[in-house]
Amino acid sequence: PPLSYVSLLPAVLIGKILHLSPVFVVYGYIVALIAFAAALISSILKRWDFLEEDDRLALIAGFLAGATIISSVSFAEREQVLFLGLVPLALVQLSLTWGYGLPKKLQWGALAFGAVCVLLKPHFGIIPVALLIHRAVVQRRLFSLVWDADSICLSLGVSAYLAFSFLFFPDYFSIVL
pLDDT tens per residue, range 19-60: 998 888 988 999 999 999 999 999 999 999 999 999 999 999
Name the more confident of 89 and 69.
89
Q: How far is CA 137 from CA 34, 97, 101, 134, 143, in A?
A: 32, 10, 20, 5, 12
Environment class of 141 (CB within 10 Å of its CB; exposed 0-12, middle 13-18, buried 19+):
exposed
Mean pLDDT of the chain: 92
Distance (Å, whole) CA 69 – CA 65: 5
pLDDT given at position 177: 66
pTM value surpassing 0.85: yes
pLDDT value of position 175: 83
Q: What percent of the chain has pLDDT over 70?
A: 99
**In whole angstroms, how far apart are CA 132 and each of 82, 128, 136, 165?**
19, 6, 6, 26
